[in-house]
A and B are shown apart, each in its own frame.
Chain A
Amino acid sequence: MKYALRIAFREFGEHVKTKGFIIGLILFPVLVFAGFRVPAILEQISKPTRAFAVIDPTGRFTAIVDEAVERDWQERDDKARLVWLEKKKADAQLADHVPEKRLFRRVEVPPEAIGADLSETIANLKPWLTGERKVHTDDGEQELFALIVFPPVAGQVRKGVQYWSTNLTDEALSKLVSRALAEDLRRKEYTEKGIPQAEVERIARIDVKFDDKDPRKAAGEEDVGTAEKLRQWAPVGFVYLMFVAMMTVAQMLLSSTVEEKASRIFEVLLSSVTPWELMLGKLIGVAAVGLTMFAAWLVSLFVVLRFASGGVGEVAGPLMSLVFTPGVLVPLAAYFLLGFLLYASLLLALGSLCNTLKEAQNFMSPVMIVLMIPLFAMIFVARDPNGVLAKVLSWIPPFTPFTMMNRIAGDPAGWEIAGTLGLLLVSVALMLWLAGRIFRNGVLRTGAPPKIVELWRLLRG
């Protein structure tokens, strides 16, 4: 074992010192952080308060638009202020709340654009809408983002509002205004029918809510919360991480095995250690690399989530605490480790048969296809963790780790966990044994990779 560890130590050192590994370690938290924060930051930076104009011949709708825009800003600012207040409680030194940026600001139609009639005014405004001319705002010169044109007759508002903009994919303003208008129309209609304002508000709030209950839970505790519903999706993250870890490690295992084989280092190694010690050392070394990466990613994920404000952070907290319970974590770790060993030993055996990376990659293709199957099935398994597909895949050893990790939050029966773990354990032992035989005979083999018949001979010999 001492010698296996020395091999493992060298293997670990060789991989963690590579630039690729270090860049990967740093890049992941950066990407996670970017994933959480950059869209918000970009929104802050790239989306200036957009100017829009309104042509309202009846003069009845401008106030509704103004109020809707103001209320939208107010709601967002209130939400941000609440988050700030929470933080302020923990940290008295926290700087004052910075009011949220306004997304939209109404500007008057430039006087020089006003024409004899409506259509002429619209035509005159086109240079402002296309950015050829700018409007004056508090933020300086600006393009006119949108023009809302109300019909000359108030009664035509339901079908006669025009929304002019060169950016019709950003629907934030049009939706905001149309919602406000619809609400106003509905309110007026109710009032005309003689229903009092307060009653209208009450009716508008009527909503049907379902109480989700889980019959498997103890009496009185059958309620299921949102976080708990999300829980069955959380392991999907682990399946992805395992997949990424497998891909990275597979590459390392193959390249290092092929390098050692091509440069004939194996021969010296095999005069010092048994093939079994050599294989075990390589597995341990590469596993340690994988685990280091995995741990570093988890830590950075935790750190980012800890400091990420807003929706993601709030959901992730309870979600992580649900996953990090022994009942979930222990089987997760067991499936992860066994799955890793199953595939890593297979790849090591394949690597030992190849003299070049190109040959090795030919062998990799079928392995990749097998790895893809549980990945494709993941959505269906997460949706119905105890369905037929999930159950069948669970008992096929190459798919067991992925499928069971995916199902673990769906509380599969204890015998299923024990049974699939047992089967996986036997498969791993068998695979290690087979890989050991191939490895022993393969590492000193020269020439093209073996055909099936020869492979069989290697297994026997």
Chain B
Amino acid sequence: MPPLDPRPAPSMSDLALRLEHVTKRFDTFTAVDDLSLAVPFGCVYGFLGPNGAGKTTTIRMSLSIYEPTMGRVEILGARSALDVRAQIGYLPEEKGLYKKMKAKDLIAFFGGLRGMDPGEARREAVRLLERYGLGGFTDTRCEALSKGMGQKVQVLASVVHKPRFVILDEPFSGLDPVNQQVLEQVILDLRAQGTTIVFSTHIMEHAERLCDRIVLIGRGKRLFDGTIVEAKRSIPRSVRLHTASDPEPLRAVRGVTDVVRLEGDGHWAIMLAEGAQTDEVLRACFRSGIELSSFERHDPSLRDVFLKFVGEEAAA
């Protein structure tokens, strides 16, 4: 288990979402197991984890769609998300639309359910559709929209009421690269407005680009919680090299923790302790007469972090 965030716990008023020892069981199956979380205001927070890790259940509990079996949830200072529904936006993982409704009416309807005045909701719906390139489809029935357009409409329906806090469950799944970019733009726009955003994903590239902080969940448990930098720091940096010589002498270099043979002939990873210098390794190579055909500093990606934690969890 990596060390928890060493900073002092933020005070209640700084938190958009707080989960304290939350557990959810369905009959004998435990979907979320003693999970604690704190999402500060104004950040983009990623819920990462493999399929079935408990991300959606956690989100549903945060939104009061499910009652936790145990533990306590607090969202925007309220015990129930419905008490602060006007300030929350939500895009579920499985996206559905009322087929017979016009795009603008659908967005306005969901705005209405979040407390907007119907007329204002309709005006804002049209404005948003125009802003994100669907100006020509305001009066089109949802059944006539393409899949990508439909998803865009649903994203807009979840933010039409200008919420302070937006939760997006797997927002990128099923989107083509162009629409993924549009959605990233929506998220960046929201962040620029100071909106707190939580989104779940198992695509690490999105998380890496967008998130300030992440929580890694596996089998319902929290595996890591912190910033991206902290996440990367949690696994050792390494040097990747290709050589015909034996790199074993490098073990003696200060800061080298391991020498690992990789797949492919002559490929090696030289694992470094925190603070170790790569040029020291390079000098050692020259000193020991190790002939290099390539030498590369390897910074861990979020993907490495994911694989490490999820792999450890799976092995456990």
Using a CB–CB distance below 8 Å, which chain A residues touch chain B?
3, 6-7, 10, 14, 17-18, 259-260, 262-265, 267-274, 444, 457
Contact = CB atoms under 8 A, between A and B. Distances in A.
Interface string B63-87: 1111000000000000001100100
B113 A269 contact: yes
Contacts of A3: 113
Contacts of A18: 100
B313 to A, nearest CB: 25
A457 B25 CA distance: 14
Contact of A444 (B65, B88, B100, B112): B65
B100 A265 contact: no
Interface residues of B, number: 29
Contact of A270 (B27, B65, B109, B158): B65
Contacts, number: 67
A268 B92 CA distance: 7
B37 interface: no
Contacts of A265: 96-98
A259 B112 CA distance: 21
B82 A264 contact: no
Contacts of B81: 271
B90 A10 contact: no
A273 B63 CA distance: 11
Contacts of B66: 444
Interface in B101-150: 101, 109-110, 112-114
Given A14-B100, A273-B82, A444-B65, A267 B94 contact: yes
Contacts of A262: 96
B95 interface: yes
9 contacts: A14-B101, A263-B98, A267-B94, A268-B90, A268-B92, A268-B110, A270-B63, A274-B82, A444-B60
A268 B158 contact: yes
B109 A10 contact: yes
A434 B161 CA distance: 34
B166 to A, nearest CB: 11
A392 B112 CA distance: 48
Residue among A17, A267, A273, A457 with most chain B CB within 10 A? A267
Contacts of B97: 263, 265
A352 B6 CA distance: 46
A14 B154 CA distance: 19
Contacts of A272: 82, 85, 90, 110, 113-114
Nearest to B88: A271
A264 B114 contact: no
A72 B91 CA distance: 78
Given A272-B114, A274-B82, A6 B158 contact: no
A438 to B, nearest CB: 16
